[in-house]
């Protein structure tokens, strides 16, 4: 199992690189819909720490009186049909009646795992792996208040509570906990019902141009966005090339504009509802699950940040040369069909980050010595950072 705590309990969330699971609850369905093989607990063992969850309510049978269940779904939101219903029996609320929005998916969409099952598996994982944490990112959902109530009930004391930027929380603070993240739309719907970060419902905000980070924001702040248009009709290679171009541009925005505490979310996925997601994913990862293109894309975003931003963020510590660095980096790599090989590959990016920062710190320290005339009696050539 991949253990992130071994990177150091004092590491902040914005200091590490980890895997995220795209459409984490879609473990079945047709080839053009399924995005994962493993359920939540096993994905977590494979190194996934952020789960992309899209939840909608659906009837448990075709009978008009049948109760509704909350499940993960995968479909183009533009093609879904939703209906508001009064006093509907919600199975996941213990059979209690509530106002609910039900969703009917198009033929090329599918429902996946039940919300309650995913929450139970998340809670079990942090219970039996007490050094670890999980982030559940709810997006494109309906029935936000019902989701918040079920999260609070199912996660119990495993639910992470508090205030302030999650980006700056340490692994020591996060361990043994599940963090629930709602997009601004979700927060707007539930805040008036008492669901705040202090009770376990945190915000999750995308900074479109990379600016606007605040330590007082109760939630996660990131740069990045999903890949390709699901319906653009490109070939598989066309979609892959399009995604690489888009992700490179997004990570450059973060590198040039963002506070180093802003987290980068990079998608190594492509969306398409016409052909097999698994086949396209296999092409992206290659036969050995060690894609050179992913490393190059990740390093490009990280390298851009080091080159253009780091001199502003040099601070004194007890580091060997008295210099430590922190840069914006692609912290979260979103993937389809998570497994242990992909998880290990992404975990190893932490070593690449450490190496790059260490080498840069030494070069900056050496350059400073030269500038201060400490480089020796003979005039030496100025050291380049890269």
Please answer whether residues 59 and 104 qualify as being in contact, where contact means their C-beta atoms are separated by less than 8 angstroms. no
Stronger pLDDT, 109 or 288, i.e. the higher one: 109
CB atoms within 10 A of CB 124: 14
**Distance (Å, rounded) from C-alpha 355 to C-alpha 101?**
50
Please answer whether residues 294 and 266 qualify as being in contact, where contact means their C-beta atoms are separated by less than 8 angstroms. no
Q: Is the model's pLDDT at 171 over the cut of 50?
A: yes
Please give the backbone phi and psi of residue 185, each rounded to the nearest 5 degrees, phi first: -60, -45
> What tokens appear for 250 in the block?
């997004």
Please state the rounded mean pLDDT for residues 271-292: 70
CB atoms within 10 A of CB 101: 17
pLDDT in tens, 113-154: 999 999 999 999 999 999 999 999 999 999 999 999 999 999
Residue-level pLDDT at 372: 66
Contacts of 192 (CB under 8 A, 6+ apart): none
> What tokens appear for 45 in the block?
């063992």
pTM: 0.84
Q: Is the model's pLDDT at 383 over the cut of 70?
A: no
Percent of the chain past pLDDT 90, that is, above it, reads 54
**Which of 182, 134, 131 lies closest to 159 in space, CA to CA?**
134
Please state the rounded mean pLDDT for residues 193-201: 98
Of 25-29, 214-218, 311-315, least confident by mean pLDDT is 311-315
Q: Is the model's pLDDT at 101 over the cut of 80?
A: yes
Residue-level pLDDT at 107: 84
**Distance (Å, rounded) from C-alpha 356 to C-alpha 164?**
29
- Kindly state the helix (H) or strand (E) to which residue 84 belongs, with its residue range: strand 81-90
What residues pair up with 335 in beta bridges, in sequence order?
A: 21, 268
Q: 3-class DSSP state for residue 196?
A: coil
Please answer whether residues 48 and 19 qualify as being in contact, where contact means their C-beta atoms are separated by less than 8 angstroms. yes
pLDDT-based confidence at 302, cuts 50/70/90?
low
pLDDT in tens, 275-285: 678 887 777 77
Please state the rounded mean pLDDT for residues 198-215: 96
Please answer whether residues 145 and 190 qualify as being in contact, where contact means their C-beta atoms are separated by less than 8 angstroms. yes
Alpha helices in the chain (DSSP H): 40-45, 115-128, 144-155, 171-174, 184-190, 236-257, 277-285, 292-309, 340-347, 349-371
Domains, the chain, in order of start with CATH, read 12-58+70-75+101-371 (3.20.20.190)
């Amino acid at each position: 199992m991949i253990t992130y705590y071994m990177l150091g309990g004092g590491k902040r969330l914005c200091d590490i690189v980890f895997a995220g699971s795209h459409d984490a609850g879609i473990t079945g369905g047709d080839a053009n819909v399924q995005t994962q093989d493993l359920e939540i607990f096993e994905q977590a063992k494979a190194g996934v720490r952020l789960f992309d969850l899209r939840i909608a309510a659906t009837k448990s049978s075709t009978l008009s009186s049948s109760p509704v269940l909350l499940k993960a779904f995968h479909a183009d939101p533009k093609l879904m049909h939703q209906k508001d219903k009064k006093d509907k029996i919600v199975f996941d609320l213990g059979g209690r009646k509530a106002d609910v929005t039900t969703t009917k998916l198009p033929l090329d969409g599918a429902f996946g795992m039940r919300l309650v099952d995913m929450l139970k598996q998340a809670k079990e994982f942090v219970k039996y792996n007490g050094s670890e944490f999980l982030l559940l990112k709810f997006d494109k959902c309906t029935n936000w208040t019902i989701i918040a109530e079920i999260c609070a009930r199912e996660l119990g004391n495993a639910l992470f509570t508090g205030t302030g930027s999650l980006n700056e929380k340490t692994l020591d603070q996060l361990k043994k906990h599940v963090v629930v993240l709602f997009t601004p739309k979700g927060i707007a719907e539930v805040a008036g019902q008492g669901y705040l970060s202090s009770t376990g419902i945190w915000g999750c905000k995308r900074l479109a141009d990379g600016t606007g980070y605040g330590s007082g924001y109760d939630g996660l702040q990131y740069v990045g966005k999903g890949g390709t248009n699901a319906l653009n009709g490109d070939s598989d290679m066309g979609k892959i090339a399009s995604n690489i171009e888009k992700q490179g541009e997004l990570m450059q925005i973060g590198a040039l504009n963002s506070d180093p505490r802003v987290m980068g979310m990079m998608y190594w996925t492509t969306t398409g509802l016409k052909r097999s997601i698994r086949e396209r994913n296999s092409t992206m990862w290659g036969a050995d699950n060690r894609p050179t293109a992913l490393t190059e894309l990740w390093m490009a975003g990280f390298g851009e940040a080091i080159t253009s931003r780091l001199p502003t963020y040099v601070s004194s510590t007890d580091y060997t040369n008295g210099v430590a660095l922190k840069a914006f980096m692609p912290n979260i790599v979103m993937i389809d069909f998570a497994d242990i090989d992909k998880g290990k590959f992404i975990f190893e990016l932490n070593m690449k980050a450490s190496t790059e920062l260490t080498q840069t710190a030494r070069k900056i320290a050496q350059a400073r010595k030269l500038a201060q005339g400490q480089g020796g009696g003979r005039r030496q050539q100025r050291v380049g950072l890269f």
